[in-house]
Amino acid sequence: MSYDLNGKRVFVAGHRGMVGSAICRRLESEGCTILTAGRDVLDLLDQAAVRAWFAAEKPDAVFLAAAKVGGILANDSWPADFLYDNLMIEANVIEAAFRTGVGKLLFLGSSCIYPKFAPQPIVEQALLTGPLEPTNEWYAIAKIAGIKLCQAYRRQHGCDYISAMPTNLYGPGDNFDLQSSHVLPALIRKAHEAKVEGAGSITIWGTGTPRREFLHVDDLADACVFLMKTYSDDGHVNVGFGDDISIAELTGLVAEVIGFSGAIEHDLTKPDGTPRKLMDSGKLAGLGWTPRIGLREGIAGAYDWFLSSTGRR
């Protein structure tokens, strides 16, 4: 089965974010019309506005990449925002897509949907088999609801709505704010600033022992387009890199790429979160897709983007 994007009107919800902008870049070679709507034009939290926008624009397909996102501290600090905003965005967009006859929709979730102590690597069937990681359970519950919305609209209305669960992402367009960002952009900024200022050390959060799997956002965008074109089923699909690394090792790698050679200190008042989060992406590999961008190469590119986008070059 294949869904042809050529000639279609394709709405990328969240096109200003890291994932949405990567999907827009990837779609440029697909011969489709890319529809976007900035927050000034369309508030995705506003049900009536979303319905009106869909009725007027009539997209054929939707990539649902809009979300309230952030790193471990942001998730832990703003549980209401992470739960409410994400529930509203996905419910509004999915219902409006159904009402206006959108033929195909891809919903983006996150690997934090899985139980904190899920056996590694984590298979899709691990969903809802145990308690969640407390620092991000609000975000996780919203994302689980998004998967269930896609399944429910498929079951009740026959909608071809699918879900992809990416692992931790990084790349151009990332958020480098030290309070709200994920670990990789934070390490890039910390190592760069320490190098420039001649500081003797950088401080990372937690023990450095948690392990994470990192996928470049351009690989994710390619996987999303691949799934949109080839996948049509009820079950969500993991999108990972296939290998993980400890936060301490990652810090060493980032420091090496950036050229910072000072000491690494730990702020143990900050949470570690899930001890390990490596996904099994065998289902996606079986469909014929594998990632291409290695971690060292990807970090170098992300550093380059950080320098040019923030005028530090």
Question: Could you list the residues that contact ligand GFB (CB under 6 A)?
Answer: 71-72, 75, 110, 112, 135-136, 139, 168, 181-183, 186, 204-206, 210, 212, 247, 270-274
Q: Which is nearer to ligand GFB, 8 or 216 (CB)?
A: 216
Of 114, 139, 231, 303, the active-site residue reads 139
Q: Which is nearer to ligand GFB, 4 or 177 (CB)?
A: 177
Residue listed under structure tokens 């969640």 = 132
- Alpha-carbon distance of 183 to 249, in angstroms, equals 12
Task: Give min distance, CB of 302 to ligand GFB, in A.
Answer: 13
Task: Give min distance, CB of 305 to ligand GFB, in A.
Answer: 18
Q: Which is nearer to ligand GFB, 22 or 61 (CB)?
A: 22
**H or E segment to which residue 63 belongs:** strand 61-64
288 dihedral zone (left: phi>0; alpha: psi -120 to 50; beta): left
Task: Give min distance, CB of 109 to ligand GFB, in A.
Answer: 9
Query: Which residue has the closest beta carbon to ligand GFB?
Result: 71
Query: Which of these, 53, 47, 59, lies nearest to 12 by C-alpha position?
Result: 59
Task: Give min distance, CB of 220 to ligand GFB, in A.
Answer: 11
- Encoded tokens for 85: 């905003």
Q: Which is nearer to ligand GFB, 72 or 96 (CB)?
A: 72
- Encoded tokens for 65: 């990449």
Has 139 been annotated as catalytic? yes
Q: 211 forms bridges with which residues in the sheet? A: 246, 276
- Encoded tokens for 137: 């359970």
Is residue 98 within 8 Å of 159, Cβ to Cβ? yes
- Alpha-carbon distance of 220 to 229, in angstroms, equals 14
Residues marked as catalytic: 139
